[in-house]
Amino acid sequence: MVFFNFIIERRCCPDGRQARQHHPFQERADLVKLKNPLLAVRDMERSKAFYREVLGLHVVMDFGANVTLTGGLCLQTLDTWADFLGKEAEDIRFGGNDSEVYFEEDDFDGFLAHLAGCADVVYVHPPLEHRWGQRAVRLYDPDRHIIEVGENMKSVCRRFRDQGMTPEQIAGRMEVPLKFVTGCLRRDAWEAGKREVPQMKGET
């Protein structure tokens, strides 16, 4: 009887609910790691051409049914993807508008000019400026996966600075902490070749 009570005390909460059992896996700091996003595609060659010509991504690894592009984006043929899921190809739905793959571009105006010269680009919406000041454009890939290309946030900070805004004003306009803005501006100055950049107000 004592042994039975001991088991109850270990496995049940005071109100009788099942106590949570801890597993060594839960105590690891690294757990699982996100590796690659993957998109199922109907025509691999057409998709590779789209990502190369529109976004400048090149093939890093090509296993035929699975291709990895620069940046880690993976493409998988529709038939093999359906087989992985135990589904028919007809069960796979494209164009759900419920997710996207997000990219950033330092020269956003240059990218828009590049897009204008690309044939058969289908836009989700024309270029716009979000409430926080970042410009973005969304388009569909050949299988109607949504692709967003946004202006690099560091470039947004630079653009507002060049318009005469102070770091404090930029932080308010972008709805971000002042420390984020000063960090972006310092990195931008460093990359521009200024080896000694004074510490900016708000950065500690």
Write out the DSSP string of 39-98.
EEES-HHHHHHHHHHTT---EEEE-SSEEEETTS-EEEEHHHHHHHHT--GGG------S
> How far is residue 163's CA from residue 172's CA, in Å, rounded to a whole number?
15
Spatial CA neighbour of 124 closest among 144, 107, 139: 139
Q: What residues does each domain of the chain span?
A: 38-86+97-151, 155-191
For the domain covering 38-86+97-151, report its CATH number. Answer: 3.10.180.10
> How far is residue 183's CA from residue 189's CA, in Å, rounded to a whole number?
10
pLDDT per residue rounded down to tens, the chain (204 residues)? 333 333 334 444 555 565 566 666 667 767 788 999 999 999 999 999 999 999 999 999 999 999 999 999 999 999 999 999 999 999 999 999 999 999 999 999 999 999 999 998 999 999 999 999 999 999 999 999 999 999 999 999 999 999 999 999 999 999 999 999 999 999 888 877 754 444 555 555
Q: Are 66 and 74 in contact (CB under 8 A)?
A: yes
